[in-house]
A and B are shown apart, each in its own frame.
Chain A
Amino acid sequence: MTGKTLVLRALKDLGVRYLFGYTGGAIMPIFDEIERFDDMTFLMARHEQGAAFMAQGLTRGALSTDRPELGVCLSTSGPGAMNLVTGIADAHMDSVAMLAITGQVATGVIATDAFQESDVVGVMMPICKQTYMPLSPEEVESTVHEAFYVAKTGRGGPVLIDIPKDIQNNETPADYEFAAENFTPQLPGFLYSPNPETDAIKRAADLINRSERPLLFCGHGVINANAGALLRKFAEKMNIPIAFTLHGLSALPLDHPLSLGMMGMHGTVESNRAIMEADLLIALGMRFDDRVTGKLNEYAKNADVIHVEIDSSEINKNVATSVAINADVARTLEALLDEPMLTYKPRRRWFSMIEEFRTVMAADLEEEISRGTGSGGKLLMKSIVHQLSELTGGRDLIVPDVGQHQMMAARFYNYQTENSWFASGGAGTMGASLPMAIGVKLARPNERVWSISGDGGFQMNIQELGTVMEYGIDIKILILNNGHLGMVRQWQTFFFDERYAGTPMRSPNFGLIAEAYGITYLKVEKLEDVKPALEAAIAHTGAIVVEFVCEPNEFILPMIPAGGGFNDMITSFSMNSPDTDEADQGGAS
């Protein structure tokens, strides 16, 4: 059998249904085989970066379903592979299991600067969990199986297989055999230890019992372990409030009485103030990123830390731990729920403090949301997201891009469905939303998917409207157009004396663009049209683009400045010159 057949046979045996990619010389043999495997559907992205984000979306969307699957993307050598880099680096930062298969020039010309040759393994090594280059057709099948195992075992991550063209075409020896069912990778150093140690559970329980002001942190690990329900049960049983990382959102309903919402740079006042006052942090599946902690030497000074994390290299990396539990979050929560020593406490003082924190910005935010427009009459993102949340009951799937609108979507959508929030977090890659939403929709065809972008990020992968068109992907695409790179503009307003270098931007007529792709389009300029437009988007079968004309001087607050401590939290801001904005919002109609 040929290497190209074995690649696809392995993918089929591993349950792959979708292949995202883009062809080219060095991957042509594999593409030529796809047609022979009719249980796999190929989707052509319009740019390889799009394919990488579609693969991410598929993995992330599917992990909470009864059919978890891994996203796979394919590209040719050289430029094709280099176009995957951003999407793969993004998956690496966000611990998303996926597989990238790239064609490579033939072994005979590798390292001669052959046409379209790049050292793909060399480039990908630091942004992949593992990289492979099979050098014989016999290696191909076991490599694909090992790659899957490595990608999804423990902390997820992207894995690359770079396959020289001759290896794709060459035949295995006649006696070649491979039994997928019996395959176990020989990786003595790749240890996966999901079970918490009993002793660590006892010590954790002891700290929890002694704590007066404990706080649970819900990180991405909770989502990845499908442990939202367990976390909820544990929090309720122990009466402990929960703060979420960006990627922990949607593990349990955001309006749960114990929820404090998101933590960190744009987190809620109540979660960040609670962190400052807590005497114990119980961190579940997270890595204490700098956008979560702010200045480390001022972070949670009064608190002991119980850190539950499947990747031991994250433990004690940024924050010193009192009890380290290197295990799966779900198994740890089960063990804690079974721990007879743990006792419930009413924690009245703690909760009354928290109630006070909740009031700090509540009135301002409520006022903004109900006002719905800025001083110039343009729409506020907060209000749009809030109305979407009300209209959908918080049950839909949200795929934001990166920027102010992302933080608005994180804060003002009332997540009710477990694993319903798919953001580019660690890398913060503009342009992630549209292609990622395509992958999420394929994983969750019966749920409604909203891609929400700014005018900047939308134009970074705008070409994927072609994919939406060609495959009839039913996603609702919202563009919150404030005529600027809003998040950067906010920093310029706060920290650069309102000098707006490189942030005002003219956009094309998004209506004509949507029309060119045969996609329905609506434009909303008035507050009273927001709800009807969203209703129309819901009622419409198939993809729709809805553009909202938004206020450029809206801020996402609070904000802890980069490198600042929680004491530096900004909760209100007034512009020196709020009405001088003359930026062209673009779009003729």
Chain B
Amino acid sequence: MKRRTLLAFMLDRPGVLNKVSMLIRRKMYNVDTLTVCSSRIKGISRMTITLKEDDPRKVEQVMKQLAKLVEVISVKELDTNNSYWREVAIVKLEIEAARLDEFHHRYNFEVLDKKSEDMHILQVAGATGHIDGFLDEIGRENIIEIARTGVSAMEK
């Protein structure tokens, strides 16, 4: 199914996040990621939602119903080919330092902590696909704990 990214701006009032998630639940979507942060303007939050849906009419419905919420100022769907999608992952994994070096030139990561010779905590940033690629290559079986922020997005 097609992955969609919705970008919404809304008044930072109590209960808004609750309403958005309730609406998406009612429409029976399972949200892939949802991130909220403050925007350039004080009192206005910026929310990025990713979910999977093929039917453009259903996406339009969700957007219109989001826009209908009293606090929501604007909603749009981001064109995935024409926007930046970024997230950050913090990963604790078992890996030898030497092996980690092999990845340095290809992936953008930072070692936050070296717990022991083969135990590292890393921070990986980039597009979702980039992070997935990194995790696949390094071997997901080596991961002890992982925290991902979810997608933040901006149009080019």
A-side interface residues toward B, CB under 8 Å? Answer: 121-122, 125-126, 129-131, 133, 150, 187-190, 311-313, 315-317, 320
Given known contacts A125-B15, A125-B18, A126-B22, is B74 in contact with A189 (CB within 8 Å)?
Answer: yes
* A-B CB proximity, top 10 nearest: A189-B73, A313-B64, A130-B70, A189-B72, A313-B65, A313-B68, A188-B73, A190-B70, A312-B64, A126-B22
What are 6 A-to-B residue pairs whose CB atoms are below 8 Å? A126-B22, A189-B11, A189-B67, A189-B72, A189-B73, A316-B57
CB interface residues, B 59-114, toward A, < 8 Å: 60-61, 64-65, 67-74
Residue of B nearest to A133 (CB): B14
Q: A320 contacts which chain B residues (CB < 8 A)?
A: 57
- A150–B71 CA distance with the chains assembled, in angstroms: 11
In this complex, how many residues of chain B approach chain A with their Cβ under 8 Å: the count is 22
Residue of B nearest to A312 (CB): B64
Q: A317 contacts which chain B residues (CB < 8 A)?
A: 61
- A122–B22 CA distance with the chains assembled, in angstroms: 10
Q: A125 contacts which chain B residues (CB < 8 A)?
A: 15, 18-19, 22
CB interface residues, B 1-53, toward A, < 8 Å: 9-11, 14-15, 18-19, 22, 26
Residue of B nearest to A121 (CB): B15
Smallest Cβ distance from B8 to chain A, in angstroms?
9
Q: A150 contacts which chain B residues (CB < 8 A)?
A: 70
Residue of A nearest to B44 (CB): A188
Contact yes or no, A313 B22, CB < 8 A: no
CB < 8 Å neighbour of A131 from B15, B60, B73: B15
B-side interface residues toward A, CB under 8 Å? Answer: 9-11, 14-15, 18-19, 22, 26, 57, 60-61, 64-65, 67-74
Smallest Cβ distance from A405 to chain B, in angstroms?
32
Residue of B nearest to A326 (CB): B64
Q: B22 contacts which chain A residues (CB < 8 A)?
A: 125-126
- A316–B57 CA distance with the chains assembled, in angstroms: 8
Beyond contacts A131-B15, A317-B61: 20 other A-B pairs, Cβ-Cβ < 8 A, are A121-B15, A125-B15, A125-B18, A125-B22, A126-B22, A126-B26, A133-B14, A150-B70, A187-B11, A187-B70, A189-B11, A189-B69, A189-B70, A189-B71, A189-B73, A190-B70, A311-B68, A312-B64, A313-B67, A315-B64
- A313–B63 CA distance with the chains assembled, in angstroms: 8
Tell me what chain A mostly uses at the interface: helix, strand, loop, or mixed: loop
CB < 8 Å neighbour of A129 from B10, B64, B70: B70
Smallest Cβ distance from A241 to chain B, in angstroms?
29
- A392–B55 CA distance with the chains assembled, in angstroms: 52
- A125–B64 CA distance with the chains assembled, in angstroms: 18
Smallest Cβ distance from B109 to chain A, in angstroms?
39
Smallest Cβ distance from A93 to chain B, in angstroms?
14
Q: B10 contacts which chain A residues (CB < 8 A)?
A: 189
Residue of B nearest to A320 (CB): B57
Residue of B nearest to A318 (CB): B61
Q: A129 contacts which chain B residues (CB < 8 A)?
A: 70
- A290–B71 CA distance with the chains assembled, in angstroms: 29
- A316–B67 CA distance with the chains assembled, in angstroms: 15
- A317–B73 CA distance with the chains assembled, in angstroms: 21
- Scoring B11, B18, B22, B70 by chain A CB atoms within 10 A of each residue's CB, the highest score goes to B70
Smallest Cβ distance from A480 to chain B, in angstroms?
36
Smallest Cβ distance from A118 to chain B, in angstroms?
16
- A126–B57 CA distance with the chains assembled, in angstroms: 22
- A122–B61 CA distance with the chains assembled, in angstroms: 23
- A320–B64 CA distance with the chains assembled, in angstroms: 15
- A391–B18 CA distance with the chains assembled, in angstroms: 53
Smallest Cβ distance from B72 to chain A, in angstroms?
5
Q: B69 contacts which chain A residues (CB < 8 A)?
A: 189
Residue of B nearest to A314 (CB): B64
- A313–B10 CA distance with the chains assembled, in angstroms: 18
Smallest Cβ distance from B33 to chain A, in angstroms?
23
- Scoring A130, A150, A189, A312 by chain B CB atoms within 10 A of each residue's CB, the highest score goes to A189
